[in-house]
Amino acid sequence: MNDKYLLIAAEEGNHSIALMCRLLRVDRTGYHRWHADRGAGIDPGSRRARRTRLGAVIMGMWLASRKAHGVRRIHADLAAVGEPASRWLVWKIMCELGIAGVQPRARKRTTIPADDAGHRKDLIR
């Protein structure tokens, strides 16, 4: 993929980026991300390393919650410990790890009064 991005960067002045991405079957947003990271001096491996590290932290928080916390709570816990991550990134990593929060069950109504039941008198008044 890197070779295709390098070719697009080299020919950027001669042809449109959209055309080259379409011909080389490369995602245009992926190219722009690669180009921005390259200009900022960001190593593509550092993004992967951050996701791996976040995955370990997320898994630890999920296990500490007895496998109950979902994306919103894990996202809030990460923010509380000073680990910036978007809710989408937390959701994506949790999907990759195959973990999810537990949703509370709907309460079942157990007492259903009969249609002919009378009203009780208020004894407190």
Per-residue model confidence as pLDDT tens digits over 18-36: 999 999 999 999 998 888 8
pLDDT at 89: 96
Measuring CA to CA, which residue among 90, 12, 1, 30 is closest to residue 54?
A: 90
Instruction: Give the pTM.
Output: 0.57
pLDDT at 78: 96
Q: Are 62 and 99 in contact (CB under 8 A)?
A: yes
pLDDT at 44 over 70: no
Residue 1: pLDDT band with limits 50, 70, 90: low
**Whole-number Å distance between alpha carbons of 10 and 14:** 9
pLDDT, tens only, 48-72: 889 999 999 999 999 999 999 999 9
Measuring CA to CA, which residue among 4, 44, 10, 40 is closest to residue 24?
A: 4
**Whole-number Å distance between alpha carbons of 100 and 94:** 7
* Domain residue limits, the chain: 2-40, 44-97
Mean pLDDT of the chain: 90
